[in-house]
Amino acid sequence: MGNVENCLLPLPATIQKIIPETSDVNTYRVTFDDPEVMANWRNKPGQLAMISLFGAGEAMFSISSSPTQRDYLEFTIRKAGVVTKALHSLEEGGKIGIRGPYGNGFPFDLMKGRDVLFVGGGIGLAPLRSLIEFMLDDQNRADFGKIEVLYGARSSDDLCFKQAVLEDWPKRPNCEVWTTIDRAEDAWKGHVGFVPAYLEEVGPKGEGKVAVLCGPPIMIKFVLVGLEKLGFKDEMIYSTLELRMKCGVGKCGRCNIGHKFVCLEGPVFDLVQIKELPPEF
């Protein structure tokens, strides 16, 4: 856990490494300045943390590194608003603040003994990556069945975690990765087409299998239709929801969907829950 005494107080951290992912997305590898905080930090895959840029503000991001990686945290962030622009202007060694972890994370215990299909679009792979790496880690690998990843982006440049997606993960035993981009490119030898269409083409069997999704709303919408056809059950489909957050601790009142706060009860919901939520996200 992070700061227990004062949940709104960020803890100083340093950017150790900046790994460019796409033209506007970087992965930031950070460590807390206080080694004790770093050593005591625990999070679940899919949990969130509030990142502070002093002089710009705070914004919530999912932790994209696996919790099995205890030496640092990684965040994969697109340059979009005030905070992310300030973050992207920093170099290695730059100082930020972190508070968290927040949210429920993926219920990986419920996935034990099962095959898991991940469907991601663009930067949506970031939260999935924390769970994929967590499952692929030697100490957990035996707990889970086959791991399948279907990942797409607008172009080859927009693919995040290229090394993992194109090289590392496909080589791991009992792990299959399908990658696609929306429009054809000269240098691209892989599949071309939208994620939902590719899903139908690949046609992984849904029976007994867990699906975990994250991506733009339009992708999620059509992937859900596809998953249903493939025989995935609602209670076995998990997705993350994104809402504007300020406190991350269920007090500032803006990330509610109905009476649920996404920062506390989310961001991960199964499809049964999502269907019960009022359609306001």
Partner 1 sequence: MKAVIDNLRREAVRLLANDEVKMVIGYGEGTDASRTTPYFASTPEQSAAFTWGPLCANNLAKHLLDYRYEDTRLAVVVKGCDSRGINRLLQDLQFPRERLVVLGVPCGGQLDRNLIAPEIPPGARLQGIEDTGKVYVLVTDKGRLSFPKDRFLMPKCYLCETNMPVVADFMAGDPVPSPAREGSDRTAEVNEIEALDVAARSSFWDNEFSRCLRCNACRNVCPACSCKECVFEQAVPGWQQSGIIGSKANSLPENMVFHLVRMFHVIGRCVDCGECERVCPVDIPLRLLYRKTLKDAHILYGAGTPGMSTEVQSPLSEFSPEDPEEFM
Partner 2 sequence: MITRDQLATLLDRLVEKNKVIAPVSDNRGVVRYTAIRTAGDVAWEFDRAKVPPKSHFLPQTEELYCYDTTGGELRIEPVPAAGRAVVFGVHPCDLRAIAALDPVFDGVFKDVYYLDKRERTVVVGLACKQVLPGCFCRSYGIEPTDGEGADLMLTEVGDRYYAEILTPKGEALVREFPELFSDGGVEEGRRGKEALSRELAGQFQREVDLTGVKEKVDTMFEHPYWQEVARKCIGCGICTYLCPTCHCFDIIENHSGHRGSRLRCWDSCMFTDFTLHTSSHNPRSTKKERVRNRFLHKLSYHNERYGLAGCVGCGRCVAECPVNIDITKIIADIKEVD
Residue ranges that bind partner 1, judged by CB under 8 A: 55-56, 81-82
If the CB atoms of residues 57 and 190 are measured against partner 1, the closer one turns out to be 57
Residue 234 CA, chain-centre distance (Å), reads: 20
If the CB atoms of residues 81 and 113 are measured against partner 1, the closer one turns out to be 81
How far is 227 from 111, CA to CA, in rounded Å? 17
Q: How far is the CB of 34 from partner 2 (least distance, A)?
A: 11
User: How many residues can be counted in the chain?
Assistant: 281
Q: How far is the CB of 13 from partner 2 (least distance, A)?
A: 8
Are the C-beta atoms of 235 and 255 separated by less than 8 Å? no
Q: Which of 185, 254, 272, 276 binds partner 2 (CB under 8 A)?
A: 254
Are the C-beta atoms of 246 and 263 separated by less than 8 Å? no
If the CB atoms of residues 40 and 89 are measured against partner 1, the closer one turns out to be 89
Q: Is the peptide bond before 216 cis (omega within 30 degrees of 0)?
A: no
How far is 91 from 93, CA to CA, in rounded Å? 6
Question: Which tokens hold the place of 180?
Answer: 């696609």
Binding at 107: pick from partner 2, partner 1, none (beta carbon under 5-8 Å per type): none
Q: How far is the CB of 85 from partner 1 (least distance, A)?
A: 9
How far is 239 from 278, CA to CA, in rounded Å? 16
If the CB atoms of residues 58 and 115 are measured against partner 2, the closer one turns out to be 58
Enumerate residues 30-49 that contact partner 2 by CB under 8 A: 33
Binding at 90: pick from partner 1, partner 2, none (beta carbon under 5-8 Å per type): none
Q: How far is the CB of 93 from partner 2 (least distance, A)?
A: 7
Q: Which of 19, 197, 202, 243 binds partner 2 (CB under 8 A)?
A: 243
If the CB atoms of residues 183 and 254 are measured against partner 2, the closer one turns out to be 254
CA angle (184, 226, 150) in 5-degree steps: 50
Enumerate residues 1-30 that contact partner 2 by CB under 8 A: 5-12
Q: Which of 89, 208, 258, 276 binds partner 2 (CB under 8 A)?
A: 258
Which residue, 32, 10, 22, is CA-closest to 77?
A: 22
- Please give the order of strands across the beta sheet that includes 147-153: 191-192, 175-181, 147-153, 116-121, 210-214, 237-240, 268-270
| Interacting residue ranges for partner 2, rule: CB under 8 A | 5-12, 33, 54-59, 80-81, 84, 93-95, 97, 217, 242-244, 246-247, 249-259, 264, 278, 280-281
